[in-house]
């Protein structure tokens, strides 16, 4: 009986011992998991939770970035459209044969438009000379769609169709000279934001017309694209026009395929 009891006690002791050992092993395992959580068998460790939240934040950030980019592109487009709406537009004028010429008939062509007056002592001749050279360069460029240069007078009182015809021929046979009634000239100048103001007359009844000195680039859709002031030289104007033409070409191809 006492032997039996003894054996029981020994086995109890054994059980107790093995329990102690396994709890110690558990403790050690937990310790090692805590110090090296990547090897943890649990479904989510703090580190993976951290990675997930970083990825989540990154994903949200990326989505936000994409959304922002899209909105910015839309805003740029709106601004571009507004800018285009502010300058240029439809016009009708008179050419050297007395025929009415409307902006619509030039759709499909690139235009380079300059406003001036035939009595201008130096600025207009310089600008028109530059314009003629630019147009020749553009026409010579490979795959060039060509460009139509147009001179519009801001002095319709003196610049009759005959005067304008004689004047434009001095610069280039390609240059189209346009005049019109004071109302027609006023309207096209307003559209292109061209300022002009006739100064006082001298004893010979001569006067200077103060005016905006800008060349306007208009695309084949009749939209204003770019402008070039007096400070831009022949090469700068030429390369900018070629870049604008290439950009426009690219856009046409894109909209064709999409
Ligand atoms: Ni001038």
Mean pLDDT for back-to-back runs of 10 residues, the chain (258 residues): 47 49 55 50 66 70 67 64 75 97 98 98 97 98 95 98 98 98 98 96 93 97 96 98 95 74
Q: How far is the CA of 126 from the centre of ligand 1 (A)?
A: 9
234 Cα: distance to centroid of ligand 1 (angstroms):
17
For residue 94, being part of any structural domain is answered with yes
d(CA 190, ligand 1 centre) in Å: 17
Number of domain units in the chain: 2
What is the spatial distance between Cα 207 and Cα 26, in angstroms, rounded to a whole number? 105
Q: Give the domain CATH number at 109.
A: 3.40.30.10
Residue range of the domain that includes 18: 2-82
Q: Which of 49, 82, 115 is the last residue of a domain?
A: 82
Residue 94 — φ and ψ, nearest 5°?
-125, 130
- Residues 192 and 220 both lie in one domain: yes
Residue ending a domain, choose from 20, 48, 82? 82
Residue 120 lies in a domain: yes
Beta strands in 134-256 (DSSP E): 148-153, 176-178, 196-198, 209-211, 214-218, 224-229
The pLDDT value recorded for residue 1 is 46
In this predicted structure, what is the pLDDT of residue 45?
72
- pLDDT given at position 39: 47
Predicted local distance difference test score (pLDDT) of residue 85: 60
Query: CA triplet 185, 101, 109: central angle to 5 degrees?
Result: 110
The pLDDT of residue 76:
64
What pLDDT does 67 receive? 66
Q: Are residues 45 and 90 in the same domain?
A: no
Distance (Å, whole) CA 191 – CA 196: 13
Q: Is the whole-model pTM more than 0.75?
A: no
The Å distance, Cα 209 to ligand 1 centre, comes to 7
CA of 99 to the centre of ligand 1 (A): 25
Residue 151 sits in the same domain as residue 243: yes
Q: Which of 57, 82, 107 is the last residue of a domain?
A: 82
Residues 98 and 53 placed together within one structural domain of the fold: no
CB atoms near residue 4 (< 10 Å): 8
To the nearest 10 degrees (0 to 180), the angle between helices 123-140 and 234-257 is 50
Q: Give me ligand 1 centre to Cα 121, in Å.
A: 7
What gap in Å lies between CA 59 and CA 54, rounded to an integer?
Answer: 8
pLDDT score recorded for residue 25: 58
- pLDDT attached to residue 17: 46
In a domain, 257, yes or no: no
Centre of ligand 1 from the C-alpha of residue 185, in Å? 15
Residue 25's H or E segment, with its range, is helix 2-35
């Amino acid at each position: 009986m006492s032997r039996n009891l003894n054996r029981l006690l020994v086995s109890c002791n054994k059980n107790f011992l093995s329990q102690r050992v396994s709890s110690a092993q558990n403790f050690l395992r937990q310790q090692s998991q805590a110090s090296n959580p990547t090897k943890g068998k649990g479904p989510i460790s703090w580190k993976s939770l951290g990675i997930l939240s970083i990825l989540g934040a990154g994903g949200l950030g990326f989505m936000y970035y994409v959304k922002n980019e899209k909105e910015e592109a839309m805003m740029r487009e709106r601004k571009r459209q507004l800018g285009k709406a502010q300058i240029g537009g439809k016009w009708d004028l008179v050419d050297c044969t007395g025929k009415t010429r409307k902006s619509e008939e030039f759709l499909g062509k690139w235009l380079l438009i300059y406003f001036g007056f035939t009595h201008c002592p130096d600025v207009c001749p310089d600008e028109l000379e530059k314009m003629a050279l630019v147009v020749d360069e553009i026409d010579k460029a490979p795959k060039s769609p060509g460009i139509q240069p147009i001179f519009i007078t801001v002095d319709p009182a003196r610049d009759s169709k005959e005067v304008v015809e004689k004047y434009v021929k001095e610069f280039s046979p390609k240059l189209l000279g346009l005049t019109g009634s004071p109302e027609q000239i006023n309207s096209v100048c307003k559209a292109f934001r061209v300022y002009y103001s006739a100064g006082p007359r001298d004893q010979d009844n001569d006067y200077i017309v103060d005016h905006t000195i800008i060349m306007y680039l208009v695309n084949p859709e009749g939209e204003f694209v770019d402008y070039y002031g007096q400070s831009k030289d022949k090469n700068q104007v030429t390369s900018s026009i070629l870049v604008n033409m290439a950009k426009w070409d690219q856009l046409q191809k894109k909209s064709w395929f999409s």
